[in-house]
Structure 1
Amino acid sequence: MSQIAQLASYAGTPKGGITLVFTAEDVAVEDFCMNHCAVHGSDLNAGTTFIWVGNSESQCPGQCAWPFHQPLYGPQTPPMLPPNGDVGIDGIISNLASMLAGTVTDPFGNGYYQGNKQAAMEACTACPGVFGRGAFPGYAGEVLTDWTTGASYNANGANGRKYLMPAIFDPSTSTCSTLN
C-alpha cells in the first residue's frame, strides 16, 4: 500500500487535486480484498490527495464487484446486470464513487466522519451495500432497470451512460441517501 501512495506522489498533481491510481488485474496490493476494495489518502504537506481502486473483476469480485457478482457470503440472490455491461469496470466505478465521496468530505482525515478517528466511518463507508431504498445485507435496494439490457442503475451520465452509485450518509437525517 505504501507503494501506491508513492506512485501517486509521482503524478505531479497540483495542490487541491486528486490523483487516481488504478491497478491492473495481475497487480496484488496489500489488504486488497481482505480489508478494502479501494482507498483514499493524502499528503498534508503537498496539499494533495489520491485514490486507489483495485481491479474488482479479477480479484475478489464477490466482495469488490458486488452487486454485479455473486457474493461470497450472505444471501445468494442473483447478481444485478452491470449498467455498462462489464462487471469489472462497473465495480471499479462504484468503488471510485465511494472514494470520491470520502475524499471530498474527509480529504486529510480531519473532515467529516463518524465515530472514532482511528476507525472512522466516512460518507459512503457508513452505507455499505446500499444503492437504493429498502436495501439490507445481500439486497442492494430498489434501483432502476434498463428495459433494453436488463441492467440495474440509479444514475444517468453523459451520452446515455448509466451507473449504479452507492448511497451517501446524510448527517441531517442520519440516514443513507440514495439517488432514487
Structure 2
Amino acid sequence: MTTLPLTFIFFFTSSVLLSSSASVETLDLKHHHDDKPYTIINPKLQPNTFTTSNKYEGSSNLVNVQYHMGPVLTSPINIYLIWYGKWTPPQKQTIKHFISSISTNNNHHHLKPSVSDWWKTVTLYTDQTNANISNRIQIRGEYSDTKYTHGTHLTRLTIQDVIASSLKAASFKVNNKNGVYLVLTSDNVTVQDFCRAVCGFHYFTFPSKVGSTLPYAWVGNSGKQCLQVCAYPFAVPGYMGGGGPGSLKPPNGDVGIDGMISVIGHELAELASNPLVNAWYAGSDPIAPTEIGDLCEGLYGSGGGGGYIGNVMKDGSGQTFNMHGVNGRKFLVQWIWSPVLKACTGPNALD
C-alpha cells in the first residue's frame, strides 16, 4: 500500500537534498528521439544512515521481510483495467504503455535501464514450491465506467462494487486463476483516505461483494486533488517554496499521470508478492503489513535513502526519469526491496 506518513517525511528531508549543490555526469546514452545525451543529476548527499556503500542505500539488517506461506502470482499475470470516470486517450495510453513495459516479452523494445529490468527484482520472490513470481504480464481486458455508476466518492468497500458491476458489464470474465483487477479513478473522483493517508492500495475482493476472491489494486489520479502529495517529486508542497526544491519535469507531460505510474508500479509489485495479504511482508501485523514497495517509498536511484530520491536521469528537454519503457516511453518509478541484497534496488543503480 502506498501510504502518506512516509511521504511527508520524504517531503521534509528532500528539501535538504535538492537545495544542495549537485554534480552532473554525462552518460553515453541516446534515445532515438533525442539529439543530446542524457545526464545524471548526482546530488552531494549526507552519509547514509545504515551504510557507507551507495549500493545498499535503504538497507538494514533490522528489516526482516518474511514469507508467511501464502500464494504469490507465479502464473502469467493477466491485468484487467477498470477506468472509473473520464480519461483522455493520452492518459490511458501512458498507463498502458507502462504496464506493457513490465513484461520481459517486450524487452527487445527497451533501452537500458528498463521497466522490465525493474520487475526482475519482484520475480526474486517465490512461493512454497520455490516458484518465482511471473515475468509475463499482459493487459487482457479493459472496461470504462464513464457514468460514475457508484458516484464520485468511493470507499474501500464501494471500490469492490465498482469491480462487481464492471465484471457484469464488461466483455472480460472473472479470472480466478491469474487475473488481477486494477481500478483507476479519474481526477474528479474522491476516495476514502485518498490524499490523506494513501495514494493507492491493494487487497482482495470479498465473495459477498464480487462473487469471488480476486486480487485487485486501486490507484487514483491526484491531478485536481493533491499533486504535491501523490505526484511528488513532479509537484512539491507549498511550504517548500523559496528554499525548497523545484519540482521535476514529468517524462510524459502529465504530472497527475506520471505521478500515478510509480504508485501503480508500487501496488503491482506488492500485489504480485502478497496478493492475499499472507505471503511476503515485514512486521507481525497482516492487517497493516510493511511490503516490498513500502520499504523503498521515495527512493529512485543510487545515493538515495533517508528521504533522498537518489540519482535520476534528465534528457535534453529536461524530463526526469530513471527507466525506459516500450514505444520510446520514459518513466520515474520507485525502487523495490530485494530479498537477495536485503536492500532497495533498481535497474538504474550506478554501482
Deviation per CA, 1:39-64, whole angstroms, max 9, x where unpaired?
11113753421111111221111110
Gaps of 5+ in 2: 1-155, 168-173
Q: Higher helix fraction: Structure 1 or Structure 2?
A: 2
SS of the residue 2:202 aligns to = strand
For residue 267 of structure 2, what is the aligned residue in structure 1?
99
Q: TM-score, normalised by structure 2?
A: 0.48
Alignment of 1:86-125 (within 5 A): 86-116=254-284, 117-125=286-294
DSSP 3-state at the match of 1:59: coil
Give aligned pairs, total.
Answer: 179
Q: Which amino acid aligns with 2:164?
A: S
Structure 1, unmatched stretches of 5+, are none
Equivalent residue letter for 1:143: V
Alpha-carbon distance in structure 2 between the residues aligned to 1:87 and 1:158: 20
Counterpart for residue 162 of structure 2:
7
For 1:112 and 1:11, how far apart are their aligned partners in 2? Answer: 29
1:83 CA displacement? 0.8
Q: Which runs of 4+ in 1 moved over 6 A?
A: none
2 CA distance for matches of 1:137 and 1:55? 26
> Which residue of the other structure, out of 146, 155, 165, is the alignment partner of 2:333?
165
Name the SS of the counterpart of 1:89 in structure 2.
helix
Question: Contact 1:33–1:64 (CA<8 Å) still a contact in 2?
Answer: yes
**Structure of higher RCO (CA pairs closer than 8 Å, 6+ residues apart):** 2
**After the TM superposition, which of the residue ranges 155-164 and 64-73 deviates more from structure 2?**
64-73
Displacement of 1:145 after TM fit? 1.2
Distance 1:36 1:55, change over 3 A: same
222, 229, 234: which one pairs with 1:68? 234
Distance in 2, Cα, partners of 1:4 & 1:57: 20
2:308 is the counterpart of 1:139? yes
Contact 1:77-1:138 at 8 Å conserved across structures: no
Query: Equivalent residue for 1:41?
Result: 203
Equivalent residues of 1:62, 1:70 under 8 A apart:
yes
| Cα separation, 1, equivalents of 2:235 and 2:307 | 11
Greater alpha carbon shift after TM alignment, 68-77 vs 168-177: 68-77
TM, length-normalised to structure 1: 0.91
Is residue 57 from structure 1 mapped to residue 223 from structure 2 by the alignment?
A: yes
For the 8 Å contact 1:63–1:72, the answer to whether it is kept is no
Identity of aligned residues (%): 37
Secondary structure class of the residue paired with 1:113:
strand
Q: Which deviates the most, 10-19 or 119-128?
A: 10-19
C-alpha RMSD of the superposition: 1.9
